[in-house]
Structure 1
Amino acid sequence: MKGQEWYQADDVAAEYDDKRFSRGGRLIDRREKEAVLDAVGPLEDKDVLEIACGTGRFTVMLAERGADVVGLDISAAMLQQGRAKAKRADVADHLEFLRGDAGRLPFPDDHFDTVIAMRFFHLADDPEAFLREMRRVSRDQIVFDTFNRFSARSIYNWALPMGSRLYSKSEVAVLLAKTDLTLEDVEDDFLLPYGLYRSIPNGLASPLRAADTAVGELPVVDHFASVSYWNTRVR
């Protein structure tokens, strides 16, 4: 996986949420959580695995809504932040954080109802292998996002600390076919790049987001969206 050393640094984990999901980044956080909840549906008593759970943004949210959740991440520092977040939210009894490798998941086949991987596939050096492993442990659903090749992100991708793997729609379609997954739904969003939202105050980001959303509703611009949220089912 790209950027493993950078991602596991203590200072990166401590500042991760503030740098990405404060200011205008709060709009990104809200939209990503909405995408996950829309895809997963009712969560009561559902067994969920989150790959690359980081500081537990989604893990804690899912546990708060009644799911039994396991969050797996390679970074011990990120997991420490997640455990503290779960304790503050009073859901520590409903989830478990594990350190592990997404390429070798420590679970038996068909162990979870749903497997989620957000902010992960742009770092994957072998996306097919990772997706195949997620498919192995899921008995029903896999939800993930990708950053898209024909988007504004491609303009500044070289400047990011570890770069990003960018995907076309056709490339994801091939991945799904190879791993025996059926596409149930895909949502495309954010014509403007994430980095712009994170760099400006929320008061300025909100009207930009409104304009972005309005233009994004036009079918012709789907292929230029920065991110796609994929909802897939096990065949």
Structure 2
Amino acid sequence: MKGQEWYQQETVVESYEDKRFSRGGGRLTDRLEKEAVGEALAPVEGRKILEIACGTGRFSVMLAQQGADVVGLDISAPMLGEGRRKARQAGVDDHLEFLRGDAARLPFPDDHFDSVFAIRFFHLVDEPKRYLRELARVSSDQVVFETYNRFSGRSLYNWALPMGSRLYSRREVDGMLAAADLRLTDETHEFVVPFGLYRKLPGGVAKAFRKLEEGIDRTPLGDSLASISYWSATVE
């Protein structure tokens, strides 16, 4: 998996959220991503939810605050340590457990969770069908995941990244869903400007770009230009 060693470095974790989500355009993308996850999984109160590649717990803590019982799984011990700190600080550590593990071999029985989701994950994997099947195995109801789109501005942005990202066509996503015995129930397409570029922008500039994107979203070109897609599916 791409970036496996990089995400486990203590120095990366120390600056991870500060560089990406705490200022300017990064704060905007953090809010938009949380809105997308919340809408895809709602209602969450009383549900058992597993987050794959939970990192420092951005989404897991939010869902626990909304009344879900959450398990966050990640391969990085330093990331999980930061997640536990945030859960304690938010007062939700009784509804949120963080585990270190491999998403290709989840340590849970079949149908163990109501919902399973993975955000900022599938762009790193080398065998997406294998991973999606494993997510579907431990879910009794819903699987939500995100992909970076091949025919979008993300293709140009990828050239500037040290690790690059796996990009997906719609045909590839349909093949993944079929291989995992999942039925697509909803889809949302976002970010004409890749959110990696958003976080480099001052807040006011990022908001102006966002208004422009919202205008494009209302046109027939909106979905086809989006750099990211959120997929919600049910287990067959």
TM class by smaller structure: over 0.9
Residue number in structure 2 paired with 1:224: 225
What residue number does 2:6 align with? Answer: 6
Match of 1:162?
163
- The one-letter amino acid paired with 2:2 is K
Is the contact between residue 190 and residue 216 of structure 1 (CA under 8 Å) also seen in structure 2? no
Spell out the pairing of 1:19-34 with structure 2 (5 A cutoff): 19-21=19-21, 22-34=23-35
1:221: Cα distance to partner? 3.3
- Contact in 2 for aligned 1:121/1:145 (Cα 8 Å): yes
**Residue 82 of structure 2 corresponds to residue 81 of structure 1:** yes
Q: Is the 8 A contact 1:190 1:213 kept in 2?
A: no
Distance 1:186 1:12 in 2: 32
Two-structure CA RMSD over aligned residues (Å): 0.9
Q: Distance in 2 between matches of 1:92 and 1:33?
A: 19
Of stretches 109-118 and 17-26 in structure 1, the one that deviates more from structure 2 is 17-26
Q: Which residue of 1 aligns with 2:153?
A: 152
Q: Matched residue pairs, number?
A: 235
Instruction: Provide the C-alpha distance between the structure 2 equivalents of 1:153 and 1:42, rounded to a whole number of angstroms.
Output: 31
Deviations 1:172-202 (A, max 9, x none): 0111011110101100011012122111111
Name the structure 2 match of 1:212: 213
State, as a whole percentage, how many aligned pairs show the same letter: 62
* Corresponding letter in the other structure for 2:9: A
SS at match of 2:192: coil
Partner SS state of residue 177, structure 2: helix
Amino acid of the structure 2 residue aligned with 1:191: V
Name the SS for the 1:82 alignment partner: helix
TM-score by length of 2: 0.97
CA distance in 1, matches of 2:218, 2:162: 31
Residue equivalent to 2:92? 91
Residues 143 and 229, structure 1, Cα contact 8 Å, conserved in 2: yes
In the alignment, structure 2 segments of 5+ residues that lack a partner are none
Q: SS at 1:200's partner residue?
A: coil
| AA aligned opposite 2:164 | G
Q: CA deviation at 1:158?
A: 2.6
Name the CA distance, whole Å, in 2 between partners of 1:219 and 1:138. 34
What is the SS of the residue equivalent to 1:219? Answer: coil
Structure 1's unaligned 5+ residue stretches are: none
Range moving further from structure 2, 51-60 or 201-210: 201-210
Match of 2:227, as an amino acid? S
User: Which residues of 2 match residues 47-196 of structure 1 at below 5 A?
Assistant: 47-196=48-197
> Which amino acid letter does the alignment assign opposite residue 8 of structure 1?
Q
Letter in 2 for 1:184: T
Counterpart Cα distance in 2 of 1:169 and 1:28: 23
**Separation of aligned partners in 2, 1:216 and 1:20:** 24
Moved more, 203-212 or 156-165: 156-165
Provide, for residues 36-81 of structure 1, a one-character-per-residue CA deviation record: whole Å limited to 9, x for no partner. 1111111111000000000000000000000000000000010011
Q: Distance in 1 between matches of 2:74 and 2:44?
A: 22
Task: List 4+ stretches of structure 1 deviating above 3 A.
Answer: none
Are 1:73 and 1:79, in contact at CA under 8 Å, matched by a contact in 2? Answer: yes
Q: Deviations over 1:115-172 (max 9, x none)?
A: 0100000001100000000010000000111110011111121321311000011110
One-letter amino acid matched to 2:15? E
